[in-house]
Structure 1
Amino acid sequence: MPENDQLEPSRFVPHGIIRTDEQIKIQTAICKVLLIEANAGAAKTTTLALRIGEAISANVAPESILVLVFTDTARDVMRRRLAEIGVHYDLVKRIEIHTFEDFAKKQLALIEDKGVNPYPNARQQFVPMMAAIDAVYERHGNSVENLELNNHALAITQYLDAQLKLKATMGLTDIVEDEDLLATCLRLGVSETELLVSQEYERIRLGLHFQPHFRGPFDATYDLARDIDCGEDRQSEFADYRLVICDELHDLNEAAFRIVCALIDRPRCYFVGAGDRDQVIHATLGAKHEYLSNRFCQRFPRTQKYPLTITHRHGPQLAYCMEAFKDKSVESNVAEKLEIRVEAYEEELEEGARCVVESIRKWKRAGFGVDGCAILIRDRHHSVVMENALREAEIGYRTPVMGSYLQREEILFLRGILAIALRDFEAVKSKEVKEAIVEALDLYGGLRIPPEELISVKAGMAKHSQLHWFYEKHIQCSKTKEGAPALDGVIRFVTDASPDSFAVDLLREVCDRLSIKKIAAKLYVRPYDASVVVKSIEGFLSIAGGRTLKQFWDVINVAEMFAVKHRDKDVLTLDCVANSKGKEFDHVILPFIEHNEYPNPMFPLKDEENLFYVGVTRAKRWLTLVTPQDRERRSPFIRRMDISGTSARANLAQTRNENALRAAPASRNYLRASYSDKDLVKSLGARYDPTRKKWYVPVGMDPKPFEAWF
């Protein structure tokens, strides 16, 4: 980190941070299109805020600055960052900071004669999607082979995901008239059913005159990009933006790219965007590294690229490991050492989960709170063994995005069978879970209850807990329903079993009789999703152990109550790696780092490398990798990190950073305060440094009350 903060002349001098050489160059650069190629934790948002501050200092009106981001959270972070570096709050309020979707809605509202009904959640889209399914059946039912149409909730959700992908990639506007349907689907990466349903859904949404009747998530972005693509003069409706900023360019898709290009085409507009191509993990939603790599350069040949290599999140230990893993330059100016721990387990996943628990205990013994911990798993099938290990250790956790395994359709289905066989629906306390159990019985049991009737049935079951009435009416006495006889058979089998029968044996027999693997393969379009369901069920069965059916039922319900009771305070985060992007944690634990998980052979190697990279770079203080003892089973990604080979260089860099911190102006005494300590140190007078992300004691203040955190 340079001592000289004036490497190049800049009009705007920020508060509270010492800029790096790279940041100053980006702040003062003058070019039509500037791309920032950043590393994880390299202060992308802060650097973009510096560029905005520079523009305002050069008399660019705040109203002519547009910032585009992908999430509401990113929008709020940008506003805070601008204020933190010294841009006056009144000026921040005048800057247009929008998500792509909100910006598109704003632009479309200028040219549309009437308001468009918003459908912000998936449930509102179910009715038009079911109409689209009916239309596909009428138009193509007799002419298209392998057409598999379903109207249950899971199928509709998958159709909605497919049309979202087609819109993000602009695939719906990229249909070649004479191209064979199968060839088109292979090129677009969707099934024939998904493409035909998506086309019919759009016909319903847009009507005869291409005036939308409603818009769901991402529809405004797509509609604006489609209009631009069709030659509509939407650019003339844009404000006279002098500077357009885009954060997290690694999430850019084709629809958003076309909107950005239309903005840049305005003669007085300059563009600055930042992203990390190694964080592209949402490829299914159209995100691609090619936008950072070459698409901007192809579209705007005079594009300039600037690096942002210095991470402010973690120490040199992890920075140099990622340099080795990704074969790119990575540096760190963090003075606090990051510890990388590799913990090994023998064979079973349960042993790996116990390693995770012990790592958390070590963290607590070091004086840190569990609220700074995150267990980031490869996918949700690992959460079964992980949640049970945490519960047995009485360690509270939250599953903010992924949700607990006890609320997944495949597990709810088995819970429903147990509830009917044991005549004990009252043990399920949550109204939402009761409704979900009924829906899971319909879905996995193949009952095909009409949607309107299913809504009424779920409400009645949740209110009165009369699940046996549901069984008698919709399963036992409903011979016309496709899956009812088979489901009735397995329920009778479980009901008639000896009270001393082991739950694992009975439930495994249930899965075999119903051919649960075939059900999963039929319900899920992607083979990987079906494989996760099967692994999740296997994990669920494994925890039954030597318990009887009633004992296992009681354990399940106690586990659910534990999760509810311990999900609010002083708890760790348990989630999938893919949900952690944009976040950071003091201690990151990645369990089960082994072959066929990292990398998973069902996905491109590049995507798997990026997923691992995102997971490990969330760490700030500790990174724990839990991997098999058998080196043949270990993921090759650990070897590629070259942990031992980079340690000597990292230690030298650590000393350099510590010396630089000591040589810094003596205005701040930094504290080792965890997130759970923030309110206490703040009440004692400590202040927060948003750049270093640490609390400090201002000069002149008595340091004695803070001794515990030095």
Structure 2
Amino acid sequence: MDPDRVLEGLDPEQTEAARALRGPVCILAGAGTGKTRAITHRIAHAVSSGVVSEQQVLAVTFTARAAGEMRGRLRGLGAPRVQARTFHAAALRQLSFFWPQVIGGEKPTLIESKLQAVARAANSVGVQPDRTGLRDLASEIEWAKVTQVRPTDYEKTVAKTSRQAPMPPGEIARVFEAYEALCRERNLLDFESMLELTAGMINEYPAIAQRVRDQYRYFVVDEFQDVNPLQKLLLDAWLGDRDDLCVVGDPSQTIYSFAGATPGYLTGFAARYPHATVVRLVRDYRSTPQVVRVANHVIAQARGTTSAGHLTLQAQRPDGPDPMYQEYEDEPAEATGVARKISVLLENGTPAGEIAILVRTNSQSAAYEQALADEGVPFTVRGTKRFFERPEIKQAVHTLRGARHEAAGEAPEPLVHTVRQLLGQLGLTEQAPEGRQARERWESLAALAQLAEDMAAKPAPDGRAVTMADLVDELEVRMATEHAPGFEGVTLASLHSAKGLEWDAVFLVGLTEGMMPIIYAETDEQVEEERRLFYVGVTRAREHLAMSWSLARSPGGRKSRKPSRFLDGLRPASPSTSARRAERRKGGVARCRVCGNALGETAERKLGRCLDCPSSYDEALLERLRDWRRANAQEQKVPAYVVFTDATLQAIAEQEPTSVSQLSAVSGVGAVKLDRYGEAVLALVSGAEPADVMGDPAGDNGEEAADD
């Protein structure tokens, strides 16, 4: 391909990056700025210019999906033989090839999960964690290995770094040492040892180093802010004393420090290579200016090691809707409100697959799964199992079913006491445990206990106290709903699993202190990582961005929660009653007649209330209005919305105007429509039949549509 043609369509900064054909090169790429486009065009430009052959390029990224996308783009650019792989895939390929001549004998068995081996190692030293504790223990061993901490140094390192270990550090160190011994004895190889062995093989055997470095002369590493010390060790082995390296990343999207990643390699790149070319990509092609303003505000408040490298994004898209900020009374109300807002988006043409709800922890998903199911909105859960498919919840439901049968014919114990007692046997303690896996399990069980509390707080339909049988019946219904056949739907995902993805509409929910930032983010560094995680969530949105929080956990609960500090300077302050009145007198911002919050969406302004605020209307009246509108639209041969939109009809049904002046105050009823349809609508409100109240069909259709 013509080298100049490869550069067509790139913006000035992307072009600068693509023309920097020799390393070292550092591309600082903000969210939505086209980093993959820049690096693939840079590789293709180098190949077409004769700087390097396709087979000598190694492009490294962190997920198989990202590597596949990169290979696909390179094929389209005329460079199909470029190797684009993850660190692990590249290491496994090299280790497998050189194993016979370096070590010989039977190749080790690669284990994708440490759980079984860690369980045996723990048992051998007298440590017996439950399955959740076992997962936390395996994660901690992974952290130690990627950060190059040996078993003998683990306790000292934890104390020095103030790391929160999931169990006593001495026990972890003993299990860690036993695990390493077990792997050697049984010829097992985990992913971390695979990277370490590959790096060691290259560094210790000059002949192998020569072959590897002859093969790969041109390196590109994506998401460089997520590199950990072990991956950096392997990268340095590949490079040797060369510097033909291009790294790409964004320090503001560093969200895996807990797993050993460090942005220091990215932020310190220019110091290590003083002659490096540094290019900044700041033109955001993903999000509207309104979303970009939020993102820039959030990251501008950052402090610490990554703050110096943050990029101020420049929006390239046309204006879009303003971000929405919504406060709710409690979590169920928040979930219901979000589901209703999503219904409106779907009605207005946004595909379900282009909408996402992002939560901080997986335990939050249950309320949203239920609210979406209740609203009839299709959804999929990404990055984790659905609530009722999680092992701890399956076990809990099985236990509660058994308790229902055991309690038959006996005087029932208070429901909440019984449920908490039973879930306590499965790990629901008064305080959340240490360890990410253990905490997630605990939070799932706590959500189940909260459901029991919510049900017990109000009597059954027949007036009696809610029993275990009622709770189990409710769980059965919810499980049946969740197990419906899969389909394309709204994405429900954690913020971590959303990285690298994007949607037209994003709902960031549960934005309270203790959840965002999470309660166990205690140090300044941990809080800043939470800020970056929030920033990642914001920058997933292309057009619609909604942020919400609730004051209480459950209906009737104490309203003691505070909005996240990350919303400071973004969310509008709640106006006083006198300010609201003054605003109305001035004809200012439209506000909900129920809660007083500002109304942002067109549909909300037409209704005169927030979409999720309670309303009461005569359903029969609304149906009569719809029948009447349908008949008028058919007679005039125009779409139904040209007569009146759904929101306007619902507002009329809610407000039930009895005079021309009251009807004219309804949003969507302008002078033209008032003159044409006013008499008919008022007759319908008074109870007349649709056939008797057809509106005047005369007039210009374009004028009608504009008036709405």
Does the alignment reach a TM-score above 0.5? yes
- 2:340/2:375 contact within 8 Å kept: no
Match of 2:122 in 1: 133
Give 2:699's aligned residue.
none
Q: What RMSD in Å do the two structures reach over aligned CA positions?
A: 3.1
Partner of 2:307: none
1:309 touches 1:330 (CA, 8 Å); kept in 2? yes
Q: Per-residue displacement from partner, 1:26-46 (whole Å, max 9, x unpaired)?
A: 111254311111111111111
The aligned counterpart of 2:452 is 541
Contact 1:528/1:602 (8 A) holds in 2:
no
Q: Check conservation: 1:12, 1:53, Cα contact below 8 A.
A: no
Q: In the alignment, which residue of structure 1 is the partner of 2:172?
A: 194
Matched to 1:325, the amino acid is: V
Q: How far has the Cα of 1:100 moved from its partner?
A: 0.4
Residue of structure 2 equivalent to 1:69:
61
Provide the C-alpha distance between the structure 1 equivalents of 2:349 and 2:398, rounded to a whole number of angstroms. 43
Is residue 308 of structure 1 aligned with residue 281 of structure 2?
yes
The reply to whether residue 633 of structure 1 matches residue 633 of structure 2 is no
How many angstroms does 1:232 deviate by? 8.0
Cα distance in 2 between the residues matched to 1:187 and 1:533: 32
User: SS at the partner of 2:36?
Assistant: helix
* Match 2:498 to one of 574, 580, 584: 580
CA contact (8 A) 1:38 1:308 kept: yes
Q: Distance in 1 between matches of 2:469 and 2:239?
A: 65
The one of 555, 565, 588 aligned to 2:474 = 555
TM-score (norm 2): 0.69
Using the alignment, how far apart are the partners of 2:128 and 2:454 within structure 1? 33
Which residue number in structure 2 is paired with residue 371 of structure 1? 353
State the match for 1:624 in structure 2.
546
Q: Which amino acid aligns with 1:292?
A: L
Q: Percent identity?
A: 20
Q: Judge conservation of contact 1:418–1:553 (CA < 8 Å) in 2.
A: yes
Correspondence for 2:83: 96
Instruction: Please report how far the alpha carbon of residue 251 of structure 1 lies from its aligned counterpart in structure 2 after TM superposition.
Output: 1.7
1:283 lines up with 2:257 in the alignment? yes
Change (3 A) 1:203 1:230: farther
Counterpart selection for 2:384 from 402, 408, 413: 402
> Are 2:248 and 1:274 equivalent residues in the alignment?
yes
| Cα distance in 1, alignment partners of residues 233 and 369 from structure 2 | 43
C-alpha displacement of 1:199: 2.2
Out of 136, 142, 147, which is 1:164 matched to? Answer: 142
Gaps of 5+ in 1: 1-9, 138-148, 424-491, 645-710
TM-score, length-scaled by structure 1:
0.69
In structure 2, distance between residues paired with 1:22 and 1:639: 33
How far 1:245 sits from its partner (Å)? 0.8
In structure 1, what is the Cα distance between the partners aligned to 2:232 and 2:334?
Answer: 43
Give the one of 37, 57, 70 matched to 1:46: 37
* Structure number with bigger Rg: 2
Post-superposition Cα deviations, 1:579-620, rounded to whole Å, max 9, x if no partner, equal 111111111111121222222242211111111011111111
CA contact (8 A) 1:34 1:305 kept: yes
Displacement of 1:416 in angstroms is 1.9
- 1: CA distance between counterparts of 2:149 and 2:72? 36
- What is the Cα deviation at residue 534 of structure 1? 5.8
Q: Distance in 1 between matches of 2:198 and 2:132?
A: 29
Letter in 1 for 2:567: I
| Letter paired with 1:308 | L
Distance 1:343 1:365, change over 3 A: farther
1:195-231 C-alpha deviation (Å, 9 max, x unpaired): 3212221222134xxxx82223444223324556779
Counterpart-to-counterpart distance in 2, 1:381 and 1:126: 22
For the structure 1 residues 419 and 237, does the alpha-carbon distance in structure 2 shift closer, same or farther, using more than 3 Å as the test? farther
Letter in 2 for 1:639: D
Cα distance in structure 2, aligned partners of 1:61 and 1:103: 18
Is the contact made by 1:107 and 1:237 (CA closer than 8 Å) also made in structure 2? no
Q: 1:22 aligns with which of 2, 7, 13?
A: 13
2:26 to 31, 35, 47: 35
SS of structure 2 residue aligned to 1:517: coil
Kindly indicate whether the alpha-carbon contact (under 8 Å) linking 1:63 and 1:95 is maintained by their aligned counterparts in 2. Answer: yes
Q: Give 2:240's match in structure 1, choosing from 249, 265, 268.
A: 265
Equivalent position SS for 1:596: coil
Shift in Å at residue 49 of structure 1?
0.3
- Is 1:389 matched up with 2:364? no
Relative distance call for 1:340 and 1:215 in structure 2 (3 A) is farther
Contact 1:70-1:100 at 8 Å conserved across structures: yes
Q: CA deviation at 1:242?
A: 2.5
| 3-state SS in 2 of match to 1:130 | helix
- Unaligned runs of 5+ residues in structure 2 are 301-309, 460-465, 552-558, 574-708
1:374-404 per-residue CA deviation (whole Å, 9 max, x = no partner) reads 1101112211222221222222221122212
Contact 2:288 2:317 in 1 (8 A): yes
Per the alignment, residue 355 of structure 1 pairs with 337
Partner SS for 2:261: coil
Inter-partner Cα distance in structure 2 for 1:631 and 1:153: 34
Q: Distance in 2 between matches of 1:55 and 1:33?
A: 14
Pair 1:199–1:187, CA change in 2 (3 A): farther
Greater relative CO (CA pairs within 8 A, separation 6+): 1
Tell me the residue number matched to 1:380: 362
Write the deviation string for residues 465-503 of structure 1: whole angstroms up to 9, x where unpaired: xxxxxxxxxxxxxxxxxxxxxxxxxxx6x556446x764
Report if the CA contact (8 A) 1:521-1:530 is conserved. Answer: no
Amino acid at match of 2:221: C
Tell me the distance in 1 between the aligned counterparts of 2:122 and 2:424. 31
Check conservation: 1:72, 1:99, Cα contact below 8 A: yes
Counterpart of 1:416 in 2: which secondary structure? helix
Counterpart AA for 2:237: A
1:508 to 407, 414, 420: 420
Q: Bigger CA drift: 223-232 or 71-80?
A: 223-232
